[in-house]
Amino acid sequence: MNENVKRAKLDQRRAPIHEALEKFRNMRVVPFDVPGHKRGRGNPELAAFLGQQCVGLDVNSMKPLDNLCHPVSVIREAEELAADAFGAANAFLMVGGTTSSVQSMVLTACKRGDEIILPRNVHRSVLNALVLCGAVPVYVNPEVDHRLGISLGMKREQVAKAIREHPNAVAVLVNNPTYYGICSDLRAIVQMAHDAGMLCLADEAHGTHFYFGGGLPVSAMAAGADMAAVSMHKSGGSLTQSSLLLIGPNVHAGYVRQIINLTQTTSGSYLLMSSLDISRRNLALRGRKVFHQVADMAEYAREEINAVGGYYAFGKELCNGNSVFDFDTTKLSVHTLDIGLAGIEVYDILRDEYDIQIEFGDIGNILAYLSIGDRPQEVERLVSALAEIKRRYSTDGTGLLSQEYIDPEVAASPQEAFYAPKKSLPLRETEGMVCSEFV
């Protein structure tokens, strides 16, 4: 291909799906196809609620708009631009959420009976993929930080041991990062997997910004991983349920497309796809600057919350070179037990009394998710609310539950357990039995 043509094709200022939809909007096409609302005319309440601009672009695959199952024009161009922006050999637009991306990774790497090495704190989508394909998990049980009650990353020696004891495993899966922003030594794990002839897969649901941030942990593609599931709708700014699947040069793109088409809808939403296209453009052009600002906001919030006293907003000081190899400084996680409140209690108070919606609370922590849409004034409001909650509600924390982790025993593959005859019992009557679904 002519180098000038290629460079023009990979102009990150372009958004091919968005451009094709704009052109389509200006044509007077008579719709004798689906969806049945016919640009909103058949459902005026929906059109009034979402707006004509939105329902008018909720269209079906057609000649000028390409087809997600077998893209040859504008969707293919959008995927090539995404691959270029994220440093991947190939990228796939996903409209079934990062769950769909993660499951496509696992189904590409594994078939029935294959072993896959993974941390115990994987997302449920990974285990659900094992139910679908019949592969068997080899768990690497991450250490727990006993003060914070959170799972850490995988230690290098734990991964090496799992590879040594299971030389026929087909892949190693890594969270990059965990929900709390903790990263394993991804480059070392990729090297170990490749040396053993295994693929390395990365669940990057919470790491979209790693591709566009100075001073942030290494991204999966930069570390040499073979596949990565990237949740564009989390920190990347696209619409909920839109995601990307990235692959490296050693994975067959045609086979991945076949796997995706096993489970992904044949009616890909152009609202979701155009949001991926426009968000990729935004990140490619402005991501580095924006995520630098997000990291600065989170760092400011950590300092202010720790100055309140009682709370512990943790950061890079957790890094130990192994199980916490690196930390995502955009994550604002706060340990709450020292003010005598469980994380879920602080979550409820923030929501019910301060109209502040955070991502989640668990037994000991809350997580406020900061990304490209946040502004300093909202961060100030959160810090003030936490200071007030401490003043109004702090109590003696003795007697609060601490988080305990018990290594699981793989008595059956997730698929065998899921499809086996089962019954529902009170927990205390289940000793010696096999759990048949995801807890």
pLDDT at 284 over 80: yes
pLDDT at 2 over 80: no
Q: Report pLDDT for 120.
A: 87
Which structural domains are found in the chain, ordered by start?
Answer: 11-62 (no CATH), 63-284 (3.40.640.10), 286-393 (3.90.1150.10), 409-439 (no CATH)
Q: Report pLDDT for 5.
A: 40
pLDDT per position as a tens digit, 149-196: 888 999 999 999 999 999 999 999 999 999 999 999 999 999 999 999
What is the pLDDT averaged over residues 294-305?
Answer: 97
Q: Report pLDDT for 4.
A: 43
Q: Report pLDDT for 406.
A: 72
Distance CA 156, CA 164 (A): 12
Peptide bond into 137 cis (omega under 30): no
What is the pLDDT averaged over residues 421-433?
Answer: 92
pLDDT per position as a tens digit, 99-110: 999 999 999 999
Q: Report pLDDT for 7.
A: 44
pLDDT at 403 over 70: no
301: nearest Cα among 387, 201, 389, 425: 387
Beta-carbon count within 10 A of 252 CB = 11
pLDDT per position as a tens digit, 73-90: 999 999 999 999 999 999
pLDDT at 97 over 50: yes
Q: Report pLDDT for 14.
A: 96
Burial class (CB in 10 A: 0-12, 13-18, 19+), 218: buried
pLDDT per position as a tens digit, 225-259: 999 999 999 999 999 999 999 999 999 999 999 99
Rg (CA), the chain: 23
Q: Which amino acid is at 370?
A: L
Q: φ, ψ for residue 203 (rounded to 5)?
A: -90, 100
Q: Report pLDDT for 40.
A: 87
Q: Report pLDDT for 401.
A: 66
Confidence class of residue 404 from pLDDT cuts 50, 70 and 90? low
Q: Output the CA–CA distances (angstroms, integers) from residue 337 to 148, 319, 368, 372, in the order listed.
A: 9, 22, 16, 29
- Alpha-helical runs (H) found in 87-123: 97-109
Q: Report pLDDT for 338.
A: 93
pLDDT per position as a tens digit, 27-69: 888 888 899 899 988 999 999 999 999 999 999 999 899 999 9
Q: Report pLDDT for 102.
A: 96
pLDDT > 90: what percent of the chain? 83
pLDDT at 407 over 80: no
Alpha carbon dihedral 114, 117, 122, 127, in 10-degree steps, equals: 10
Burial code (b: 16+ CB inside 10 Å, e: under 16) for 353-362 equals: eeebebbebb
What is the pLDDT averaged over residues 312-341?
Answer: 96
Q: Report pLDDT for 239.
A: 97
Mean pLDDT taken over the chain: 93
